[in-house]
Structure 1
């Protein structure tokens, strides 16, 4: 069975046909097709989204927002046209942002325009035989891809945390052998963008490539690595023993959850953040991440110390820099097949 997966990010849209090998394995048929929004003739480089508060209050779309949303739709349409075949193929799509009530549009997006009628517009423009059932979370689909991709870093692992850095940051979880959406776990764990270090500075600045690129003009690589390491340790700690107000959030997070006592078998870093940390340019930051994890684990509960520390320091087998850039596209196909609407 073939499925088209479309990963619409904040700066580009990517897509490919995916085939099911078996119920546990999906892979791309052909290379990914990609379009950068900035390359579209109508791209508005000066576009600034309304504040999240105004977007969630359903303020009317501004003219620039309408124009930018049409541009996004046109780019997504073009990618689908490049990869679709004559035979009808189901399409699954993921986008950042808060979805509309019917999950077929974008109600709010920090780094882009609202697109409340996205699925309707795509179906009309492409005369699709199969309706697009809903828009998935791009973050969740990264975790699904790591689980069901042939080289995915979640495969054969019971407990794992995924962090993918691009324009924004994607969070993913697999606990006790099951994939868990951060939306479903929201009572006891926060998404990266919700965690604040100081006024107007979210941890997303230290985990997204857009944020890291900005920070490197004013902060040292060691400082960035220190903060990213502290973030990853918070994930270890919160999953093992519950939220302990390590950072600032604007909502209450419960300490109690069903996974107390769980130790992460693996931390997976993906997307452009992984590419960067594997490069010479990102080496100092990654080294500081490992050192910070070591210091935090050594000074933590005995169970955490014994699990994550070996004779050489922090156990580097517990952290994987994933090269599966197609993870969200593969994840879309896997979920579309395994969890049909």
Structure 2
């Protein structure tokens, strides 16, 4: 049994109060469901009694019972203080509830990290390296929402490594976007973006960037260092060649610092290849989150989730 940290006693007290409140509601609901409906009447204040060793009447609803039957088992108290077994049961419950809450809240983060890992396993780790479904997508790669009638071009930006990064997109692109490492919107590009489908230059700034911003770009500042770029090209007469050619000839991604001599673009075909981009649903879910938390700034996570 792990020792109870005295600094966590206020947390334990609040958690026990919350559990007792919830279980009292459940008990009342269960009791009401087992009885016949009755005409409603105005609520009455609960009876107050004078417990032993008290001088004044105490409302029953603010007292802690000596024993409470719960889904965790019997919780035992003496003068409102939980015994060691009760404390342990409550902390074990807190561990499970927090782990479940992390899973629910961090699905977008884990999903985008799984996409990054899937790209990396194909050798795509630099911003100028692009995963291109030049022959469309089929059932071999594992994607959550991919479809088979879109020419996808996908790349990852590392703003911590590269600094401000430029994305040049060709005209005629379909819905295209950049998402941060929590799968949150950074900017739209293409037909739904400020270039309105005419093509243009976008500049994605790191979260901590405070330098000069040059003219001539559609500028966005991300909340994270890792960012996912996903572009969609349209089929022409049901064929992908036009969009594929537009990507290969005109799509450019490079650090702003290398604008005078940007690295040559590399396109890796994803068509017909088996690889995974979906987050785990077991203990590996949490290990997938760790590199994201290690890399990104604390402000990347909303205050209510930081703990």
Fold conserved between structures, TM > 0.5:
no
Structure number, greater radius of gyration: 2
Using the size of structure 2 for normalisation, the TM-score is: 0.31
